[in-house]
Structure 1
Amino acid sequence: MPTPVDLSALIKAYDVRGTYPDQLDAGVARAIGAAFADVVVLPEVAEGARPRVVIGNDMRPSGPELVGAFADGLTARGVDVVLIGLCSTDGLYHASGALGVPGAMFTASHNPAQYNGIKLCRAGARPVGQDSGLTEVRELAGRYAAEGVTAVAERGVVTERDMLTEYAQFLRSLVDLSGIRPLKVVVDAGNGMGGHTVPAVLGTGAGLPALPLDIVPLYFELDGTFPNHEANPLEPENLRDLQAAVVEHGADLGLAFDGDADRCFVVDENGDAVSPSAITALVGLREVERERAAGRTPTVIHNLITSQVVPDLLQAAGARTVRTRVGHSFIKAQMAEHEAVFGGEHSAHYYFREFFFADTGMLAAMHVLAALGEQPHPLSALADQYQPYVSSGEINSRVEDVAAARARVIEAYVTEQGGGVVEVDELDGLTVSHWGGHPQWWFNLRASNTEPLLRLNVEAADADIMEKVRDDVLALVRQDAP
């Protein structure tokens, strides 16, 4: 019996991600498709029903080949396939939710052109991660890759369906933009899937009525080689073209989407980036108000590196807030467990109960447009309400000994400053908070799962305090840096 192929470098904790074709090629994609059928799809199909999977892909050149191979693996195991073609990741989640079937999205998100990958979900866009089937998929796919996929007598069939208009209609049913004041919006799609979805949802590309939006497009041409800049707006240099264009066109705001358009970043009329934590607070308050108006007690999820302003404002508005680890699988699990109306991460992933508890950058963008267009003030004034504190942003430090560096920080901040002066928790890495005292500050120090890195986030009531805490912690962390 052949030795199973080791796919641990490709199939990780939350998705499939690797370079094409050396890590992810057609043979591996076929094996993963067959394993997905056996582990996730077939065990959950209702008695007497045909098992089905919906598949979409982004604009990467390797997508169609990999989709075809993955679909072949599924059909070999007796599973029908619905191909929806080019779509954003949230477009695939919508298809999974609307059709009530498991899904697979071929994308490497913001990674460079040589990468591709697969985001898998159960019916209703429920996530598949290391604790919910992905480990078993990896093990079985490794065997299929070595031994080949055995086809059943009655293979599945492949059909095609365009769901872009349904996706656009669904989003418009959740946020009504028809009555807002006219807004000029620059959108940087980064040659990613925003160039496909923005004209459909915010324009008339899907045959929907025009909205009071003047869209100025940047890099809407779908091109998986990313000729203008990486489709990763989390990196400041990738926002520069958008910031300049907002000022040049006298726009009311700018929006930037990552490669698969599931994350959205916002720039105000001055070209200044608006913190994703501020967007979490802004959108969260809108959803809290709607819940309370319906007579329900709202719950909002946020990860532990979002600004303190998020729980401050949402709790004051009558919401219950739940703090969770960094990472979409943790947020989605907490969203479902608590029936949360909304969830936000500082990485600009935004989750909505009405969107199958999944993340969608487009719906978050629509909430920002509604909030801005329903009142007369510029976005900078609106955003100031949600950005009262000063943060460092995430700072990575490469260290020789992660455990020793962490121990130095614990010694300095927990042992020496103990006695109730600081609050400490280890929900995700080490969080040390002095928010209940003066001066107000907190920091989180987390180890990377894949590299010898420590990631530091600091927030404080003013810049001087933030810089002091940041520099003191970094000095401890980098004491033995290579």
Structure 2
Amino acid sequence: MLTRSMFKANDIRGTVTGARPEWDADGARAIGAAFVRVLGLAGGTFVLGRDMRTSGPELAAAFIDGATGQGADVIDVGLASTDQLWFASGHFSVPGVQLTASHNPSEYNGVKFCLADAAPIEPAQLVAIRKLAFDGDLSPAATPGTRTEADVLTAYAAHLHALVPMTGARRLRVVYDAGNGMAGHTAPAVLAPLNIDLIGLFTELDGSFPNHPPNPLEPQNLLDAQAAVRTHRADVGLVFDGDADRCFIVDERGEVVSPSLITALIARQELAREPGGTIVINTITSRAVNQVVARAGGRLVISLVGHTAVKALMAQHDAIFGGEHSAHYYFRDFWGADTGMLAALHVLALLGHSDGTMSDLVAKLPSFAASGELNSTVADVPGTLDRVDAAFAGRGTHDRSDGLTIETDDWWVNVRPSNTEPLLRLNVEARSEQQMVALRDETLAIIRGGTDA
């Protein structure tokens, strides 16, 4: 069973349980076979991992069955965070497949793909996989492929440690919230050997997410880490999403640090290491990053939102670092792929080598008032964008390259469809809180007028 709607712009996600499941093991088998056909992997090799979701073992086994039936050899690394799978793709220099639904609720599962060395899959290849999985001839190859197992966790941790020297850093007290996701698997291997006092929350792998949903973009899912930082008087908190490729930062006061400001901090650090380097951000990253990169002498490239688009520009421009508002952080030294754990190490190194607090580091950056991401369900996305466009006529520049962005020297508004969910997302930023609130409320009234949002 497969449904066409589960094929998204950058990956595949759909429900596997509940009243209306969207795919099952037979669907996973078809996707596995189509993946091998489209990438021409008969007689070749790819690496596969999965997260802790309860449907993972069955779907992974079916995907492998479909892939080996087409003559591909599979290196199965078992339980893995998504960035651990990107590492495995680079480590073995082969394409990769991760069975995960990232931050989606427990009834979901999905697939993320990459080419060899963690390069992003082409949009046309994802379209071809969908078409072949539904309509193609997937008769088996004359010679089936094989499945072997490999454990890459130790090598993954060693690679990250080599990229961020912690020698000479002061001892920190660090809270990390795994949210019952894959950080419970990777964080002990990466963080425990460091000179830190480590306090873990919800570290047991549990795909039912009994403590809170694995989506740190929702403020309520950060509350446990914020409280723990205050209770333990920690220097910093780290909150990972379900597949642990994203990491949110909480300062010593228990306040959440904007991912855009983390992008600015790491970008400045990377530009000090490589002056004149290129930094990639997306259309809704804070303009604070623009200012920091300009002051550091770097070059800025703007991407569409989404890991596939950012990775492609990272490779095209040989960028040293990239960051998104959603706490995806990309590193050239990590094959241009996104990794929340490496971003966390950079933050720990910056803090450990400073004599101030996390909030002190952030206070030195340019300041803007931001709305955060506000989601609305609308029946007519194109019509809604047109209404917002018309309402702001005569104000600022209007750009439709990634949803709708309206920008002046003092503020910007972006409204764009989600790549993974049936939602319209609003982000607003302005020089003052009052101006941001006025623009936010005006735009929401347009978006939600006459809807059930």
Aligned partner of 1:57 in structure 2 is 50
TM-score by length of 1: 0.89
- CA shift at 1:111, angstroms? 1.0
| 1:248-292 CA distance string (max 9 Å, x none) | 001001000001000000000010000000000001111111112
Change (3 A) 1:316 1:180: same
1:170 equivalent to 2:159? Answer yes
Which residue of 83, 93, 103 corresponds with 1:100? 93
Quick one: distance in 2 between partners of 1:176 and 1:104? Answer: 30
Which residue of 130, 141, 145 corresponds with 1:156? 145
Equivalent positions of 1:80-99 (< 5 A) are: 80-99=73-92
Q: Secondary structure at the match of 2:222?
A: helix
Which residue of 406, 418, 439 corresponds with 1:432? 406
Quick one: distance in 1 between partners of 2:183 and 2:361? Answer: 25
- CA shift at 1:407, angstroms? 3.2
- CA shift at 1:480, angstroms? 3.1
Aligned partner of 1:442 in structure 2 is 412
- CA shift at 1:387, angstroms? 5.4
Q: Secondary structure at the match of 1:85?
A: strand
TM-score by length of 2: 0.95
Quick one: distance in 2 between partners of 1:123 and 1:398? Answer: 37
Two-structure CA RMSD over aligned residues (Å) = 1.8
Unpaired runs of 5+ residues, structure 2, are none
Aligned partner of 1:462 in structure 2 is 432
Aligned residues of 1:30 and 1:72 also touching (Cα < 8 A): yes
1:288 equivalent to 2:271? Answer yes
Aligned residues of 1:13 and 1:129 also touching (Cα < 8 A): no
| 1:402-455 CA distance string (max 9 Å, x none) | 44443333333223x4xxxx22222212211121xxxx2111122346777432
Change (3 A) 1:11 1:470: closer
Larger Rg: 1
Alignment-mate amino acid for residue 230 of structure 1: P
Change (3 A) 1:409 1:143: closer
Quick one: distance in 1 between partners of 2:218 and 2:317? Answer: 32
Q: Secondary structure at the match of 2:347?
A: helix
Aligned partner of 2:59 in structure 1 is 66
Aligned partner of 1:321 in structure 2 is 300
Aligned residues of 1:191 and 1:226 also touching (Cα < 8 A): yes
Quick one: distance in 2 between partners of 1:152 and 1:218? Answer: 47
Q: Secondary structure at the match of 2:239?
A: strand
Quick one: distance in 2 between partners of 1:286 and 1:304? Answer: 22
Equivalent positions of 1:348-427 (< 5 A) are: 348-386=327-365, 388-415=367-394, 417=395, 422-427=396-401
Aligned partner of 1:46 in structure 2 is none
Aligned partner of 1:8 in structure 2 is 4
Alignment-mate amino acid for residue 228 of structure 2: A
Aligned residues of 2:103 and 2:214 also touching (Cα < 8 A): yes
Which residue of 130, 143, 161 corresponds with 1:138? 130
Change (3 A) 1:387 1:272: farther
Alignment-mate amino acid for residue 51 of structure 1: G
Quick one: distance in 2 between partners of 1:427 and 1:11? Answer: 21
Alignment-mate amino acid for residue 479 of structure 1: G
1:110 equivalent to 2:103? Answer yes
Which residue of 178, 190, 211 corresponds with 1:189? 178
Quick one: distance in 1 between partners of 2:300 and 2:421? Answer: 31
Q: Secondary structure at the match of 1:9?
A: helix
Quick one: distance in 1 between partners of 2:106 and 2:443? Answer: 36
- CA shift at 1:20, angstroms? 1.5
Quick one: distance in 2 between partners of 1:10 and 1:407? Answer: 27
Aligned partner of 1:47 in structure 2 is none
Quick one: distance in 2 between partners of 1:335 and 1:154? Answer: 38
Quick one: distance in 1 between partners of 2:345 and 2:422? Answer: 38
| 1:280-326 CA distance string (max 9 Å, x none) | 0001111111112xxxx300000011111001110110101011111
Quick one: distance in 2 between partners of 1:194 and 1:452? Answer: 27
Alignment-mate amino acid for residue 423 of structure 1: T
- CA shift at 1:152, angstroms? 2.1
Aligned length in residues: 449
